[in-house]
Chain A
Amino acid sequence: MKTAQTSLQKRLHSDTIFTYVIAGVMGLLSILRLIHLFIALDNVRLAGDAYTGSVPGDLLSEALLFMFIAAAMLMLSLVLGEIHRTGKPFSRKNINRFRAMAYILIFASIIPEAAKGLVGFADPTATYATFQLINARSLCVMFFGVVCGLVSEIFRYGYELQDNMDSIA
Chain B
Amino acid sequence: MKKITSNLKKSANTCAYSFILLAFFFGFLVLGGAAPAILQIIRGESDFNELLKNLGALLEFLFTAVALLMMSIGLFGINKTGKPFAEKNVKSFKLSGKLMSIGGFIGSVINVIATRYLPEFEQVEMEGMGVGLILCGEVIVMFVDFLRYGSEVQDELDSIA
Chain A contact residues, CB within 8 Å of chain B: 1, 4-5, 7-8, 11-12, 15, 83, 89-90, 143, 146-147, 149-151, 153-158, 160-162, 164-165, 168
User: How far apart sit A12 and B4, CA to CA, in the bound complex (Å)?
Assistant: 27
Distance in Å: Cβ of A153 to nearest Cβ of chain B: 5
B40 within 8 A of A: no
B-side binding surface: helix, strand, loop or mixed?
Answer: helix
Asked if B160 lies at the interface with its beta carbon under 8 angstroms from chain A, I say yes
Choose one: B5, B145, B157, B160; the contact of A157 (CB below 8 Å).
Answer: B5
Given A1-B152, A7-B145, A90-B150: A150 and B11 within 8 A (CB)?
yes
Nearest residue (CB) in B for A94 is B146
A-B contact pairs, 29 of them (CB 8 A): A1-B152, A1-B153, A4-B152, A7-B145, A8-B145, A8-B149, A11-B142, A83-B146, A89-B149, A89-B150, A90-B150, A143-B22, A146-B18, A150-B11, A153-B8, A153-B11, A153-B12, A154-B147, A154-B150, A156-B4, A157-B8, A157-B150, A158-B84, A158-B85, A158-B149, A161-B85, A161-B154, A165-B153, A165-B157
Known: A143-B18, A150-B11, A158-B85. A15 touches B153 (CB 8 A): no
Q: Is the interface of A mostly helix, strand, loop or mixed?
A: helix
List A contacts of B143 (CB < 8 A). Answer: 151
Give Cα A106 to B143, complex, Å.
21
Least CB distance from B29 to A in Å reads: 12
Point out the residue from B5, B15, B142, B157 that lies within 8 Å of A150, measured CB to CB.
Answer: B15
Are A164 and B157 in contact, CB atoms less than 8 angstroms apart?
yes
Complexed CA–CA distance, A168 and B153 (Å)? 12
Q: Given the complex of chains A and B, what is the CA–CA distance between A146 and B18 in angstroms?
A: 10
Q: Which residue of B lies closest to A155 (CB)?
A: B146
Instruction: Mark B54-94 against chain A: 1 for CB-CB distance below 8 A, else 0.
Output: 00000000000000000000010010000011000000000
Task: Tell me if A161 and B153 are in contact (CB < 8 A).
Answer: yes
- Give chain B residues whose Cβ lies under 8 Å from the Cβ of A146: 14-15, 18
